[in-house]
Chain A
Amino acid sequence: EVHLEQSGAEVKKPGESLKISCQGSGYDFATYWIAWVRHMPGKGLEWMGIIYPGDSDTAYSPSFQGQVTISADKSVRAAYLEWSTLKASDSAMYYCARASSGGPFDFWGQGTLVTVSS
């Protein structure tokens, strides 16, 4: 059974760094893309970027390019979303989701709630 398990909720202060994770199981992790999606309260879904764990090929939304770093380690079947300097406006729920090349996001993680507050 395909499953994406995300790391737990985080509470951080502005200016701090953060790396959240998404662990895949039940399928060949290296051969499916993993995307990150932001969901802010009362807002829509925003595609942030995507990575292919097999070769770490990565694409970013222009809105998030330079703001976050997406990485993956296929040896531990995990993808990551990282901030070097958090802002209050980064407070949101973040989802990872699996996709084949050009295909839909067919499986989603449970979400990681990030709260950035002084």
Chain B
Amino acid sequence: SYVLTQAPSVSVAPGQTARITCGGDNIGGRNVHWYQQKPGQAPVLVVYDSSDRPSGIPERFSGSNSGNTATLTIIGVEVGDEADYFCQVWNPSNDHRVFGGGTKLTVL
């Protein structure tokens, strides 16, 4: 089965740029979706199809995907961005979905 690898944690100071990566075999050939989950809340889609942003998501959130790494970038990080972030892909051969293990973003 397809495996997505995320670093357990990333720490940045307010106003800085956070980069959260998601590794997978030739992930650049797949559409990657990113979710933000704050404690006690349901996940929220923040980037879909690797680089598109749903309505209502700030422009500070962006995504890229190439080779074996997809990246969620948050520019000008705010304290309110502190959350767990999960990447996710679809396997069209069996209709299965896969989540990465998640990255906890800490805003120092």
A interface vs B, CB < 8 Å? Answer: 35, 37, 44-47, 50, 59, 61-62, 95, 97, 99, 102-106, 108-111
Looking at chain B, what size class is its interface with the partner chain?
A: 20 to 34
With A35-B97, A44-B99, A59-B95 given, is the CB distance from A105 to B35 under 8 Å? Answer: yes
Residues of B within 8 A of A111 (CB): 42
Residues of A within 8 A of B35 (CB): 45, 105
A105, B87: Cα distance in complex, Å:
11
Known contacts A45-B37, A50-B97; can you find 20 more A-B pairs with CB under 8 A? A37-B99, A44-B99, A44-B101, A44-B102, A47-B88, A47-B96, A47-B98, A59-B94, A59-B96, A97-B43, A102-B31, A102-B90, A103-B90, A104-B45, A105-B88, A106-B48, A108-B42, A108-B43, A108-B44, A111-B42
Number of inter-chain CB pairs below 8 Å = 57
- Shortest Cβ distance from B40 into chain A, in angstroms? 9
Residues of B within 8 A of A99 (CB): 97
Q: Flag if B33 contacts A50 (CB, 8 Å).
A: no
Q: Flag if A46 contacts B31 (CB, 8 Å).
A: no
Q: Flag if B33 contacts A105 (CB, 8 Å).
A: yes
- Shortest Cβ distance from A16 into chain B, in angstroms? 26
**Nearest opposing residue in chain A for B94, CB measure:** A59
- Shortest Cβ distance from B95 into chain A, in angstroms? 4
**Nearest opposing residue in chain A for B1, CB measure:** A62
**Nearest opposing residue in chain B for A46, CB measure:** B99
Residues of A within 8 A of B94 (CB): 59
Scoring A44, A59, A111 by chain B CB atoms within 10 A of each residue's CB, the highest score goes to A44
With A102-B90, A102-B92, A105-B33 given, is the CB distance from A47 to B42 under 8 Å? Answer: no
